[in-house]
């Protein structure tokens, strides 16, 4: 059984169609990255999958259950890191987790264990409102992990975070992947997607315009004839291996070529080519 299965999903707010005929699946232990610019529909999609929003057409199954009627069994296996952080601001870091732990009947040792994982043990007594942005996000992640979920939804978990927090979160997510935790991640960050995701989808105005392994997507749009050449006089040239073959041979014979490589597109280049817009907004 797939962890998530979405078919022909459509969602509109009023008359505004936000997600169009979306298909998507997530296998156990897989990390899927949903990339798209602001307003593409990423958070809307996550909110549908966790049962916060209804859908207009199609179907969305999570652990085989309709996302509109998810049972406690699914929530027990699911962890969430969403935009709105929902922390108890006047309570300590520890107590923020303790409340959640009590609801789920989780032992106190697990709280300490998770605080250690997100490097917040030294801040355990600090009030949530006194935490830095990076610490807050790590606390939200700690809460999401407390009940040992098998599926994690992460909506831009590292956006605008300091490099140390970002690195720590990435490291933690890679460890969870090794433990076969399934992850659905939204991000604007291509490096993050490349580091963490087995597959990605490029979301543009509610449609998945490209989907698959990052290497495969890049290869699909890679024009092997496009060469980037740096000459010994440090001029940079973009040439075509066929059309500009005479020039290239000339530079080679004269020993004028310092570096030569084929221009592999980035995901940003591909998104721009497909939509005319920037991904990283
Ligand atoms: N509750 C709502 N009612 C009406 N429109 C909404 C609602 N929630 C989202 N939208 C609209 O749906 C579109 C997609 O929003 P969404 O938050 O899913 O984008 P996003 O990809 O998560 O963007 P960002 O990267 O900025 O977080 C936007 O045009 C937004 O204005
Ligand atoms: Mg969003």
Which tens digit of pLDDT belongs to each residue from 221-233? 988 888 889 999 9
By the 8 A CB rule, do 236 and 257 touch?
no
pLDDT at position 274: 86
pLDDT at position 214: 93
273 or 54, greater pLDDT = 54
pLDDT at position 241: 87
Helix, strand or coil for residue 44? helix
Ligand 1, atom 6: closest residue by C-alpha: 13
pTM: 0.89
The residue to mutate among 9, 13, 202, having the most atoms of ligand 1 within 8 angstroms of its beta carbon, is 13
Across the range 241-269, mean pLDDT stands at 89
Share of the chain above pLDDT 90, in %: 77
Measuring from each residue's beta carbon to the nearest atom of ligand 1, which residues come in under 6 Å?
Answer: 13, 18, 36, 38-44
Does the structure show a pLDDT above 60 at 132? Answer: yes
CA of 108 to the centre of ligand 1 (A): 38
Ligand 1, atom 8: closest residue by C-alpha: 44
Does the structure show a pLDDT above 60 at 281? Answer: no
pLDDT at position 269: 87
The residue to mutate among 11, 42, 52, 190, having the most atoms of ligand 1 within 8 angstroms of its beta carbon, is 42
By the 8 A CB rule, do 172 and 113 touch?
no
pLDDT at position 273: 86
| pLDDT bracket for residue 240 (50, 70, 90) | confident
pLDDT at position 35: 94
**Rounded to an integer, what distance in angstroms lies between the CA atom of residue 176 and that of residue 210?**
26
Does the structure show a pLDDT above 80 at 280? Answer: no
Q: Which ligand is nearest to the CA of 34?
A: 1
The residue to mutate among 14, 38, 39, 84, having the most atoms of ligand 1 within 8 angstroms of its beta carbon, is 39
Across the range 119-137, mean pLDDT stands at 94
Average pLDDT, the chain: 92
Q: Which ligand is nearest to the CA of 155?
A: 2
Taken as a whole, the chain contains a residue count of: 281
pLDDT at position 114: 97
Q: Which residues pair with 183 in a beta bridge?
A: 31, 152
pLDDT at position 276: 84
**Rounded to an integer, what distance in angstroms lies between the CA atom of residue 96 and that of residue 178?**
27
59 or 273, greater pLDDT = 59
**Rounded to an integer, what distance in angstroms lies between the CA atom of residue 204 and that of residue 227?**
29
pLDDT at position 145: 96
Across the range 196-219, mean pLDDT stands at 93
CA of 208 to the centre of ligand 1 (A): 16
pLDDT digits (tens, 9 = 90+) for 45-96: 999 999 999 999 999 999 999 999 999 999 999 999 996 678 999 999 999 9
Sign of the Cα pseudo-torsion (83, 63, 23, 212, in order): positive
């Amino acid at each position: 059984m797939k962890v998530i299965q979405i078919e022909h999903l459509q969602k509109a707010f009023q008359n505004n169609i936000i997600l169009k005929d979306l298909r998507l699946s997530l296998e156990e232990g897989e990390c899927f990255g949903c990339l798209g610019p602001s307003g593409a529909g990423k958070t809307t999609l996550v909110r549908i999958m966790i049962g916060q929003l209804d859908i207009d057409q199609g179907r969305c199954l999570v652990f085989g259950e309709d996302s509109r009627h998810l049972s406690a069994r699914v929530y027990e296996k699911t962890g969430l890191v969403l935009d709105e952080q929902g922390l108890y601001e006047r309570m300590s870091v520890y107590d923020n987790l303790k409340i959640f732990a009590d609801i789920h009947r989780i032992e106190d040792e697990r709280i300490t264990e998770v605080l250690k994982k997100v490097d917040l043990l030294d801040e355990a007594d600090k009030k949530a409102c006194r935490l830095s942005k990076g610490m807050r996000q790590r606390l939200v992640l700690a809460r999401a992990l407390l009940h040992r979920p098998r599926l994690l939804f992460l909506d831009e978990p590292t956006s605008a975070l300091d490099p140390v927090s970002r690195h720590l979160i990435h490291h933690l997510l890679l460890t969870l992947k090794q433990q076969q935790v399934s992850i659905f991640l939204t991000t604007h960050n291509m490096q993050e997607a490349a580091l963490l995701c087995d597959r990605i989808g490029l979301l543009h105005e509610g449609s998945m315009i490209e989907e698959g392994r990052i290497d495969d997507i890049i290869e699909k749009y890679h024009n092997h004839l496009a060469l980037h050449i740096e000459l010994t006089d440090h001029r940079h040239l973009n040439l075509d291996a066929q059309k500009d073959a005479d020039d290239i041979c000339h530079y080679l014979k004269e020993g004028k070529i310092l570096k030569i490589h084929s221009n592999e597109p980035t995901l940003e280049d591909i998104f721009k080519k497909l939509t005319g817009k920037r991904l990283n907004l």
